[in-house]
């Protein structure tokens, strides 16, 4: 995997390299540049890059300019921006050039690791295999979580609640679920709840408020709003339509 | 409005002015009226008295002349020898049925007629001879003889011994027909030489003679003149009964008595120098007071009219005076209620105008001062913030943190790296104040970052348990709502034992309840009450609390959140403390269930 790293501060550059080395175990080649100009030179002269990670503020040539040029040169190169700036202007411009992700300093190891994993997966055209030493066990956990959610739709479901029952750290559970299913845990829970609501609305004559309560969303107005977001119809409309 | 101790009842300025105005008008008017009345009527009485005295004098003179003229009729006999002869011839003893010789009668008649020529008021003149013969100028209508019992007056005339006797009005018996009511003058006729008694002469007078004299004399409408003779018998007017006086002598005394008794009349009396007649003029006081009464009623009407005018003027004037005061009072009330932008318009250029201007100046100064203090506070904060922002620019800050994090990461200090990352996020979240409401998820992320840093510091002594239903994560909450509460819980709950924080949410009808509890030291009942009191305070957050001591700020942190929630959502929302707990503490946040429509 070829990665171009453009960052003017050597400490950060070294740190990033360390993280990348932690995540990507094989066939890794990292090119480092301390400004945009050097980075662009490297990009043009060396072989095809699988990922470009760049800071925004750098001497000679800044990150945005670098982005623009790389996109001109080779449109489909994945780029990740790491910046201390979260000003809207920067982010918008970066997004216009089609960056893959926009990470804010100080970055969390996990965030960067996730991005790397995604690129690796896309590059191989399937889920990364070498990263999960016990894939079966992982899938088992996900299945357990999904079962738990299905059983608990009526009550409150919090990340903590699920994490306790599968003996995992909440954050880790959340990450794992996202990685395994490509979906946020909270989105999954809401989806299941709405699915149950559809069932109840078409299959029973329970009142909307009762359906809402049975789907773990006691505030029926909020429930109606969520329901409409997911199905395009209010619960009443949905029921009338059959 | 006013302290009731000093002013028992509220009397408006208008009422006071009204009363004052009315008093100012009525009192002088009535006083001057009363004085004028008494002075005027006294003066009028005095004038009338003088006038009537003068008139009585005049009447007396006229009357005297009149009597003298009449007397000349009686005296004419003395200068007529024929008459004296005839009377001498008839001075024999008295008998009845005398025959009057026609020449004698003719002569007498001629004599009398010439004497009373053109005196129409004279009803008749009779000459009484001693033998009972009666001569007269009236040939057909008079008797030719007289009887002593019918002519009582002769004794009186005899007593006068040739002097003039004035007789009160009576029906004369000496007429044959048409007996008239006449007053008379009579006298004894004596022989000018021998002084022997020859007979009597009597001139009968109708009232027209007196009337002629008195008619020209009239003092007031109801004034009256009376004429009495020497004996006090009434000569004029003839009909004494008309005056309500009992006929008989002496009428003058009776009248005098009556007049003195009722005291309602002015009396003037005069005696003629000749004939012994007395003239009495009577003026009823009511006549005199008539003018004064008219004057007084005139004054009363004027004072009534001016009273009315004064009332109107005072109403207008008090309006003019009271209106600006009222409007000023209203403005003061509004300022009292905190509307410091209020100014009162200056309507008059007088003391009230000055007062209003003073009020405006005072409020303006007050407003300015408050704004200055308030703005100063804000400006200071802004200055602080911009100083902070300019000195530590984000790029520098975050890059520094990133360097440290990376250095830590390189040395396998993963925990340190994580904490630095959390700190960066914490800073970012705090500084970015663009939106006032965020999703509960964002807020919880912030709290988790905060907790991550705190657990790094406190190690095993802090545990956190966040149980929030996935559906609650998209509820909108005020930004920076939870972290101060968590901080507060750690600050106050942390003792020697490890502390477990639990954050849970619950939907309650249309509200969302967030509960932050700990199993720490708990809050003593005293402190609990104190916090409750702080929460219940209605006063707005003052500038001083911002710069207060650290210890104070802890209590105020709760109050500030509480007030913020109430301002955002209403009185039924905010913070409350769970008082039922015996161990640890629990804070409840109640906010309405709101979510962003996407």
**B chain contacts of residue A107, beta-carbon cutoff 8 Å:** 402, 405, 421
Compare CB distances from A229 to B402, B473, B598 and report the shortest one's residue: B598
Q: How far apart are CA B195 and CA A140, in angstroms?
A: 190
pLDDT digits (tens, 9 = 90+) for B476-498: 998 889 998 999 899 888 888 88
Read off φ and ψ for residue B4, nearest 5 degrees: -70, -15
Cβ pair B469:A57 closer than 8 A: no
Cβ pair A14:B402 closer than 8 A: no
pLDDT at A197: 92
Q: How far apart are CA B459 and CA B415, in angstroms?
A: 11
Residue B158 CB partners (closer than 8 Å, separation 6+): B188, B197
> Which long-range contacts (C-beta less than 8 Å, at least 24 apart) are formed by A15-21?
A15/B402, A15/B403, A15/B405, A15/B406, A15/B407, A15/B409, A15/B410, A16/A53, A16/A82, A16/A112, A16/B406, A18/B406, A18/B409, A18/B410, A19/A109, A19/A112, A19/A113, A19/B409, A20/A112, A20/A116
**Spatial contact of B198 and B85, defined as CB atoms under 8 Å apart:** no
B429 to chain A: closest CA residue: A86
Same domain, A191 and A82: no
| The pLDDT of residue B593 is above 60 | yes
Contact with chain A for residue B435, Cβ under 8 A: no
SS3 (DSSP) at B171: strand
Q: How far apart are CA A33 and CA B106, in angstroms?
A: 188
Q: Is B361 exposed, middle or buried (0-12, 13-18, 19+ CB in 10 A)?
A: exposed
Q: Average pLDDT in the B584-593 region? A: 91
Name the nearest CA neighbour of A226 among B52, B475, B360: B475
**Spatial contact of A104 and A92, defined as CB atoms under 8 Å apart:** no
Domain CATH number, residue A202: 1.10.10.60
Q: Average pLDDT in the B468-482 region? A: 90
Cβ pair A18:B409 closer than 8 A: yes
Read off φ and ψ for residue B191, nearest 5 degrees: -70, 120
Same domain, A50 and A113: yes
Residue B591's DSSP bridge partners are: B512
| The pLDDT of residue B418 is above 90 | no
B427 to chain A: closest CA residue: A106
Calculate how close chain A gets to B493, using CA atoms only, in Å: 22
Same domain, A145 and A235: yes
How would residue A178 be classed by pLDDT, with cut points 50, 70 and 90? confident
pLDDT at B557: 77
pLDDT at B387: 65
pLDDT digits (tens, 9 = 90+) for B379-390: 777 777 766 666
pLDDT at A126: 42
How would residue B215 be classed by pLDDT, with cut points 50, 70 and 90? confident
Residue B289 CB partners (closer than 8 Å, separation 6+): B41, B44
Cβ pair A186:B473 closer than 8 A: yes
Contact with chain A for residue B595, Cβ under 8 A: yes
Q: How far apart are CA A234 and CA A197, in angstroms?
A: 11
pLDDT at A133: 46
Q: How far apart are CA B215 and CA B487, in angstroms?
A: 126
Cβ pair A84:B409 closer than 8 A: no
| Helical packing angle, A170-181 and A135-151, nearest 10° | 100
A9 to chain B: closest CA residue: B403
B448 to chain A: closest CA residue: A171
**For chain A, how many structural domains are there in total?**
2
pLDDT digits (tens, 9 = 90+) for B256-270: 777 666 667 778 888
Same domain, A102 and A176: no
The ipTM of this complex is 0.72
Angle at A75 between CA A72 and CA A76, to 5 degrees: 160
Cβ pair B421:A107 closer than 8 A: yes
B175: region left, alpha or beta (phi > 0 left; psi from -120 to 50 alpha): beta
Domain CATH number, residue A29: 3.40.50.2300
Same domain, A83 and A6: yes
Calculate how close chain A gets to B394, using CA atoms only, in Å: 7
Q: Both tokens of residue A213?
A: 């309560």
pLDDT digits (tens, 9 = 90+) for B485-532: 999 899 888 888 889 999 999 988 889 999 999 988 888 888 888 888
How would residue B551 be classed by pLDDT, with cut points 50, 70 and 90? very low
A117 or A148, higher pLDDT? A148
pLDDT at B447: 94
Q: Report the range of poorest mean pLDDT among A108-117, B317-326, B551-560.
A: B551-560
B461 or B254, higher pLDDT? B461
Contact with chain A for residue B407, Cβ under 8 A: yes
Same domain, A24 and A37: yes
pLDDT digits (tens, 9 = 90+) for B343-399: 888 877 888 888 888 888 888 888 888 888 887 777 777 777 766 666 667 777 888
**Spatial contact of A71 and A81, defined as CB atoms under 8 Å apart:** no
Q: Average pLDDT in the B440-454 region? A: 92
Residue A153 CB partners (closer than 8 Å, separation 6+): A192, A193, A196, A214, A215, A216
Q: Helical H runs in B438-539?
A: 440-458, 482-493, 525-536
pLDDT at A128: 41
pLDDT digits (tens, 9 = 90+) for B552-571: 455 677 888 888 888 888 88
Compare CB distances from A12 to B406, B421, B598 and report the shortest one's residue: B406
Same domain, A114 and A154: no
Compare CB distances from B465 to A12, A13, A160 and report the shortest one's residue: A160
pLDDT at B451: 92
Cβ pair B398:A158 closer than 8 A: no
Contact with chain A for residue B328, Cβ under 8 A: no
B403 to chain A: closest CA residue: A12
Residue A161 CA, distance from chain mean position: 22
**Spatial contact of A88 and A102, defined as CB atoms under 8 Å apart:** no
Q: How far apart are CA B369 and CA A121, in angstroms?
A: 66
Same domain, A130 and A149: no
Residue B582's DSSP bridge partners are: none
pLDDT at B241: 55
Cβ pair B510:A221 closer than 8 A: yes
Calculate how close chain B gets to A69, using CA atoms only, in Å: 24
pLDDT digits (tens, 9 = 90+) for B333-345: 888 887 777 788 8
Q: Both tokens of residue A65?
A: 């300019």
Same domain, A101 and A165: no
Cβ pair B467:A186 closer than 8 A: no
Q: Average pLDDT in the B405-431 region? A: 85
Domain finish residue from A114, A135, A156 = A135
Contact with chain A for residue B467, Cβ under 8 A: yes
How would residue B214 be classed by pLDDT, with cut points 50, 70 and 90? confident
pLDDT at A192: 93
Same domain, A7 and A127: yes
Same domain, A60 and A149: no
pLDDT at B391: 61
Calculate how close chain A gets to B507, using CA atoms only, in Å: 6
Same domain, A114 and A146: no
Q: How far apart are CA A57 and CA A35, in angstroms?
A: 9
pLDDT at A102: 84
| Helical packing angle, B13-75 and B285-336, nearest 10° | 170
Compare CB distances from B424 to A106, A158, A216 and report the shortest one's residue: A106
* DSSP per-residue codes, A57-78: S-SSS-HHHHHHHHHHH-TT--
Residue B364 CB partners (closer than 8 Å, separation 6+): B343
Q: Mean pLDDT, chain B, as a whole number? A: 80
Q: How far is CA A113 from CA A20, A108, A117, B179, B515, in A?
A: 7, 9, 6, 166, 34
Q: Helical H runs in chain A?
A: 10-23, 36-45, 63-73, 88-96, 109-124, 135-151, 159-165, 170-181, 185-203, 208-214, 220-231, 235-241
Cβ pair A216:B409 closer than 8 A: no
**Spatial contact of B515 and B506, defined as CB atoms under 8 Å apart:** yes
Name the nearest CA neighbour of B168 among B154, B182, B156: B182
Compare CB distances from A9 to B403, B432, B512 and report the shortest one's residue: B403
Name the nearest CA neighbour of B283 among B293, B269, B272, B273: B269
Cβ pair A160:B407 closer than 8 A: no
DSSP code of B4?
T
**Spatial contact of B92 and B130, defined as CB atoms under 8 Å apart:** yes
pLDDT at B477: 92
pLDDT at B392: 65
Compare CB distances from B402 to A105, A158, A161 and report the shortest one's residue: A105
pLDDT digits (tens, 9 = 90+) for B119-175: 888 888 888 888 888 888 887 778 888 888 888 888 888 888 878 888 888 887 888
Residue B279 CB partners (closer than 8 Å, separation 6+): B56, B59, B60, B63, B225, B226, B227, B269, B270, B271, B272
A interface with B, Cβ–Cβ below 8 Å: 9, 11-16, 18-19, 57, 84-86, 104-109, 156-161, 170, 185-186, 189-190, 193, 216-219, 221-222, 225-226, 229
Domain of residue A116 covers: 2-135
| The pLDDT of residue A13 is above 80 | yes
Q: What CATH number was assigned to the domain covering residues B78-205?
A: 3.30.450.20
Cβ pair A9:B402 closer than 8 A: yes
**Spatial contact of B168 and B210, defined as CB atoms under 8 Å apart:** no
Q: Average pLDDT in the B8-34 region? A: 79
pLDDT digits (tens, 9 = 90+) for A149-162: 998 888 889 998 99
How far separated are the first and last CA of chain A, in Å rounded? 53
Domain finish residue from A86, A103, A135 = A135
Domain finish residue from A102, A135, A168 = A135
How would residue A135 be classed by pLDDT, with cut points 50, 70 and 90? low
Which sign, positive or negative, has the C-alpha torsion B243, B246, B251, B254?
A: negative
pLDDT at B4: 46
B79 or A54, higher pLDDT? A54
Cβ pair B403:A157 closer than 8 A: no
pLDDT digits (tens, 9 = 90+) for A180-239: 888 889 999 999 999 999 998 988 888 888 889 888 888 888 899 999 999 999 999 998
| The pLDDT of residue B239 is above 70 | no
Best B415, B469, B595 residue to mutate vs chain A (most A CBs within 10 Å): B469
Fold of B436-540+555-592: Heat Shock Protein 90 (3.30.565)
A-B Cβ pairs (cutoff 8 Å, strict): 114
B551 or B508, higher pLDDT? B508
Compare CB distances from A15 to B409, B468, B469 and report the shortest one's residue: B409
């Amino acid at each position: 995997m070829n990665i171009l790293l453009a960052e003017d501060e050597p400490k950060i550059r070294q740190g990033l390299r360390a993280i990348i080395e932690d995540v990507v175990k094989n066939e890794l080649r990292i090119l480092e540049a301390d400004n945009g100009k050097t980075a662009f030179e490297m990009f043009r002269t060396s072989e095809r890059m699988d990922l470009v990670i760049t800071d925004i503020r750098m001497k000679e040539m800044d990150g945005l300019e670098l982005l623009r040029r790389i996109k001109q040169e080779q449109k489909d190169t994945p780029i990740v921006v790491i910046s201390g700036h979260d000003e809207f202007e920067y982010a918008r411009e970066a997004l216009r050039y089609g960056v893959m992700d926009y990470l804010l300093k100080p970055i969390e190891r996990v965030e960067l690791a996730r991005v790397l994993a995604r690129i690796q997966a896309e590059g191989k055209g399937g889920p990364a295999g070498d990263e999960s030493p016990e894939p079966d066990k992982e899938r088992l956990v996900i299945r357990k979580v999904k079962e738990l959610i299905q059983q608990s739709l009526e009550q409150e479901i919090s990340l903590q609640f699920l994490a306790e029952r599968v003996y995992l750290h909440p954050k880790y559970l959340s990450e794992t679920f996202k990685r395994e299913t490509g979906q946020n845990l909270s989105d999954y829970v809401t989806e299941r709840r709405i699915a149950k609501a559809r069932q109840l609305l078409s299959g029973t004559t329970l009142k909307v408020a009762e359906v809402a309560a049975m789907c773990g969303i006691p505030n029926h107005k909020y429930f109606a709003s969520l329901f409409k977001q997911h199905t395009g119809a209010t619960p009443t409309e949905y029921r009338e339509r059959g | 409005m006013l302290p009731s101790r000093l002013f028992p009842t509220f009397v408006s300025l208008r009422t006071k002015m009204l009363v004052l105005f009315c008093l100012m008008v009525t009192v002088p008017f009535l006083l001057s009226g009363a004085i004028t009345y008494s002075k005027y009527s006294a003066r009028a009485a005095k004038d009338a008295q003088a006038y009537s005295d003068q008139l009585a004098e005049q009447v007396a003179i006229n009357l005297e002349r009149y009597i003298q003229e009449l007397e000349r009729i009686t005296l004419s006999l003395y200068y007529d020898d024929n008459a004296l002869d005839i009377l001498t011839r008839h001075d024999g003893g008295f008998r009845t049925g005398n025959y009057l010789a026609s020449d004698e009668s003719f002569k007498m008649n001629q004599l009398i007629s010439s004497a009373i020529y053109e005196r129409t008021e004279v009803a008749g003149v009779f000459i009484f001879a001693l033998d009972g013969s009666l001569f007269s100028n009236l040939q057909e209508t008079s008797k030719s003889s007289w009887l002593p019992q019918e002519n009582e007056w002769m004794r009186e005339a005899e007593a006068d011994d040739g002097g003039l006797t004035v007789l009160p009005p009576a029906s004369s018996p000496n007429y044959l027909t048409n007996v008239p009511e006449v007053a008379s003058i009579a006298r004894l006729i004596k022989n000018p030489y021998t002084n022997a008694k020859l007979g009597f002469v009597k001139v009968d007078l109708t009232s027209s003679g007196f009337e002629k004299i008195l008619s020209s004399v009239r003092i007031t409408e109801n004034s009256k003149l009376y004429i009495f003779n020497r004996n006090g018998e009434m000569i004029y007017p003839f009909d004494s009964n008309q005056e309500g006086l009992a006929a008989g002598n002496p009428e003058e005394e009776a009248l005098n008595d009556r007049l003195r008794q009722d005291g309602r009349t002015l009396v003037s009396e005069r005696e003629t120098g000749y004939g012994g007649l007395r003239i009495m003029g009577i003026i009823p006081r009511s006549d005199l007071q008539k003018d004064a009464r008219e004057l007084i009623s005139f004054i009363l009407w004027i004072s009534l009219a001016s009273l009315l005018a004064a009332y109107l003027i005072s109403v207008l004037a008090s309006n003019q005076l009271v209106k600006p005061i009222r409007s000023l009072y209203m403005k003061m009330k509004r300022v009292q209620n905190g509307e410091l932008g209020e100014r009162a318009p200056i309507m008059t250029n007088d003391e009230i105008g000055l007062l209003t201007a003073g009020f405006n100046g005072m409020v303006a100064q007050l407003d300015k001062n408050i704004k200055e203090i308030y703005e100063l506070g804000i400006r200071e904060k802004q200055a602080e913030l911009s100083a902070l922002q300019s000195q530590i620019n984000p790029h520098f800050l975050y890059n520094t943190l990133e360097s440290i994090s990376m250095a830590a990461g390189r040395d396998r200090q993963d925990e340190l790296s994580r904490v630095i990352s959390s700190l960066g996020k914490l800073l970012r979240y705090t500084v970015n104040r663009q939106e006032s409401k965020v999703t509960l998820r964002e807020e919880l992320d912030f709290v988790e970052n905060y907790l991550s840093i705190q657990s790094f510091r406190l190690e095993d002594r802090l545990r956190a348990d966040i149980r929030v239903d996935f559906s609650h994560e998209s509820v909108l909450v005020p930004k920076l709502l939870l972290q101060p509460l968590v901080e507060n819980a750690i600050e106050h709950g942390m003792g020697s034992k490890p502390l477990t924080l639990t954050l849970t949410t619950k939907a309650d009808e249309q509200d969302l309840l967030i509960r932050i509890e700990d199993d720490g030291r708990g809050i003593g009942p005293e402190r609990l009450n104190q916090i409750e009191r702080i929460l219940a305070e209605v006063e707005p957050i003052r500038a001083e609390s911002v710069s207060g001591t650290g210890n104070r700020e802890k209590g105020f942190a709760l109050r500030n959140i509480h007030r913020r929630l109430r301002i955002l959502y209403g009185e039924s929302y905010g913070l409350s403390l769970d008082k039922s707990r015996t161990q640890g503490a629990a804070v409840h946040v109640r906010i309405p269930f709101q979510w962003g429509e996407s």
